[in-house]
Structure 1
Amino acid sequence: MSEWKIDQNIKAAFFDADGTMISFATHRVPESTLVALRELRQNGVKCFLCTGRAPYTVEEVPLDSLEAFILFNGQFILNRDGILYQETMDKADIATIVGQVQAGMYQCLFMTAERMFVSGHDDLVRSIEARVGLTYEEDDPALALDADIYQLNVFLEPGQTDVVKQACNSIKMTRWTREFVDVFPRGGGKDRAVRKVLDLYGITPDEAIAFGDGGNDLGMFGVCGTSVAMGNGNPEVKEQADFVTDDVDRDGIYNACVRLGLIGR
């Protein structure tokens, strides 16, 4: 593990939401994180949200402290001026997944720009609802056939996802937690979105830092010059991060920013 020191002048910071910016215990952003965001901005660091969440599920996030928003794991990027980038999933792949859901193979959460709905509730779905503090509306999965879908949460545990991967042609999967995999267009992901944002704002990868806790954050870790894993993060995330900070509920973001000299004590 590296010392708490970076040589580059940091101009951009990317933050995952659940487990990084948002506490699993309170479903809120800790006060210390709000302080860190304000001080980062005062010090000239542009702060970006980079999450698998949809735009209508980020009420807890301090939007005024953020420059732009990467949503659906990178398939939708916007700032206060409007949409900067968007990509929806292949219709043939959606039809395949809807067919598997209708056959009872698993439950799936479908995400459009306006709403999200789940095909049904099982133990995996209920476990995630409790963890992130959300309740998913149930609806007919066939509605996804005529909708623009940006991302899916397919509720299959590790080792069970080949049934989806082998049946679809244009998808990519990342796993944040054991209960489900994020499914989105093959060329997508947080890594591509972070690159696009850096290009748009004229910031180099070496001038960027990323904070995350789950497998879907490894993409942005690979793009940014500095990466910080939360203390409550998954083991593989901690292994690949440059630094491991404290848990989200123990001022992890704030403490890392202080240790790295990005904000004052």
Structure 2
Amino acid sequence: MKTKQRVKMVFLDIDGTLFVNGRIVPKSAAAVAKLIENHIPVAVCTGRSVIHAQHVQASLGIPYGIYFNGGLVKAGDREIFALPFSRDVVRGILESAERRGIQTIIHTHDHAFSLKPIPPEYLPVLASYDFPPIACEPTMADRLDDIGVFQLNAFMTAEWDDVFEREFPECYVYRWHEQAVDFQRRKSDKSIGALHLLSYLGISPEDAVHIGDGGNDVGMFRTMGYSFAMGNASEEVKRAAKRVTSSADEGGVADALAELGLL
């Protein structure tokens, strides 16, 4: 490991890293508070939407965020970078899902809604992933061409994944539950958003660390000068990181930061 003086920016995944079993891990929350007290910039770097991440950020006092796996970057209220879907792709996915009886959720930079009521059997899936309440707003169908859509969720089983990826090559399907996926822009990656934020802050990626547990963290592991996979990550994800820390529920974020000499 390099000296702690070189680590000038900390990126943190949320689910399976900071947040586990329905709560922010207290040991890791205390570690983040120490970073902020020491004026080390911290950003959440997540596949979540802004509204899905904001309560975690607010609880921890984290000012920076990379959302939608790199599709949107914010510094406080200031938007640094945005890469929404094209209008044609949004319309196409929604129409294709509708034909197949697949329920969808639409995410803008500050809003999440469905065009039809979400069937009750899917509500536990959303609750288990800490989703905020999803409004049913059928009139938004007329406004889809006027708003930026950064992510679509769909409640579908795995046999549909390849079908949609073939129909919409601009997207990739990220499965996060046996019944649910995200549609994301294929050109999106957490590392793309992170590089925009680092440029804004005048910090080199060589001087930044990312801590995460999922396949969507691998791009960050390869791009940042320092990286830690959580102990609860898969073996494939662990191999992609430079170091491995303890599991999320053991406070792996805090342990990684301590290993870097930041605590």
Q: Is the 8 A contact 2:51 2:132 kept in 1?
A: no
**TM-score under structure 2 normalisation?**
0.84
Aligned residues: 257
Q: 1:78 to 1:131 in 2, by over 3 A?
A: closer
Q: Is the 8 A contact 1:129 1:136 kept in 2?
A: no
Q: 1:85 is paired with a residue of what secondary structure?
A: strand
Q: Is the 8 A contact 1:175 1:216 kept in 2?
A: no
Q: 1:90 to 1:76 in 2, by over 3 A?
A: same
Identity level (%): 27
Asked if residue 36 in structure 1 is aligned to residue 22 in structure 2, the reply is no
Task: Please name the residue that 1:215 is paired with.
Answer: 215
Tell me whether 233-242 or 95-104 shows the greater mean CA deviation.
Answer: 233-242
**Shift in Å, 1:66:** 2.3
Task: Please name the residue that 2:128 is paired with.
Answer: 130
Q: 1:244 and 1:16 mapped to 2: Cα distance?
A: 14
Asked if residue 84 in structure 1 is aligned to residue 41 in structure 2, the reply is no
Q: 1:81 to 1:126 in 2, by over 3 A?
A: closer
Q: 1:216 and 1:122 mapped to 2: Cα distance?
A: 29
Q: 1:105 and 1:240 mapped to 2: Cα distance?
A: 38
**Shift in Å, 1:81:** 5.4
**Shift in Å, 1:190:** 0.8
Q: 2:56 is paired with a residue of what secondary structure?
A: coil
Q: 1:124 to 1:81 in 2, by over 3 A?
A: closer
Task: Please name the residue that 2:14 is paired with.
Answer: 17
**Shift in Å, 1:111:** 0.4
Q: Is the 8 A contact 2:28 2:253 kept in 1?
A: yes
Q: 1:123 and 1:259 mapped to 2: Cα distance?
A: 43
Tell me whether 166-175 or 215-224 shows the greater mean CA deviation.
Answer: 166-175
Q: How does 1:59-78 map to 2 (within 5 A)?
A: 59-62=55-58, 65-78=61-74
Tell me whether 250-259 or 123-132 shows the greater mean CA deviation.
Answer: 123-132
**Shift in Å, 1:122:** 7.0
**Shift in Å, 1:21:** 1.2
Task: Please name the residue that 2:103 is paired with.
Answer: 107
Q: Kindly report the root-mean-square deviation, in angstroms, between the aligned alpha carbons of the 2 structures.
A: 2.6
Q: 1:138 and 1:112 mapped to 2: Cα distance?
A: 14
* Structure with the higher fraction of residues in helix conformation: 2
In structure 1, stretches of 5+ residues that fail to align are none
In structure 2, stretches of 5+ residues that fail to align are none
**Shift in Å, 1:44:** 4.5
Q: 2:64 and 2:45 mapped to 1: Cα distance?
A: 9
**Shift in Å, 1:7:** 5.3
Q: Residue 97 of structure 1 is aligned with which of 88, 93, 96?
A: 93
Tell me whether 73-82 or 136-145 shows the greater mean CA deviation.
Answer: 136-145
Q: 1:144 and 1:125 mapped to 2: Cα distance?
A: 25
